Amino acid sequence: MYFVNGRWNDVCCDIPLPSICEYQGGFEQLLREESPLLTITVKNQKKYGNPCSKGFEYWMGECYWINLSEKNYFDASNDCHEKGGHLVSIVSHEQDRWLKEYVRHYGLLRKNLWIGMNDISKEGDLVWLNGNEVNYKHFANGQPSNGQDENCVILWGDANGQWDDQPCHAKFRSICKWTESIGKYLGVNLSVIYIICIFLKS
């Protein structure tokens, strides 16, 4: 399958390429420790190269970084922008689950971390800093409480990483995200592979 257009082609079987596996279990099984597919993913990152900088984590075409410096929402957001990204937007259950495992891996699941959601412009009108539509939410019970000046959103350590609204001037750690090229991640130039294969067949 070509990465550029998704079309199929027959190529030489001995050319090393990334592959796609079908998995019958649910996403929860995939996230479990020692999951075979997670092991495969780690091996492929080592083989083909992680496009993210050292100390950053790769998932589904995006790089993630936990800022351990405790800052208010605006300073945390500026730190992300300086690295070319933004405070993380969470747009699906799958991403939310992966993100919690990522945070858990670094022993921070019980800590508060800023994410990129806020209702600063209009009370109750939640938006993502990067412009993603708000089609997914995972607030803890009774949240958002819309308390006084509680206009910015965190992964809430007291609620196992569910969301909570907090005053934007509070100081917490944060999570940044930005997009990287999947082609760079795979480390594969498909046009070159196609030319090599034709040469070997001729």
pLDDT at residue number 56: 87
The pLDDT value given to residue 42? 43
Cis ω for the linkage preceding 51 (within 30 of 0)? no
Reported pTM: 0.67
Cβ partners under 8 Å of residue 174, min gap 6: 66, 67, 71, 76, 77, 79, 80, 87, 113, 114, 115
H or E element, residue 73: helix 73-82
pLDDT of the chain along its 202 residues, tens only?
765 456 788 877 877 777 766 545 444 444 444 444 444 344 445 444 567 877 889 888 899 999 999 999 999 999 999 988 999 999 999 999 999 999 999 999 999 999 999 999 999 999 999 988 899 999 999 999 988 789 999 999 999 999 999 999 999 999 999 875 443 433 433 333 333 344 444 4
pLDDT number for residue 114: 98
CB-based burial, 65-100: b 16+ in 10 Å, e otherwise: bbbeebbbbeebbebbeeeebbbbbbeeeebbbbbb
Domains of the chain (ranges, CATH numbers): 52-180 (3.10.100.10)
Integer-rounded Cα radius of gyration of the chain? 20
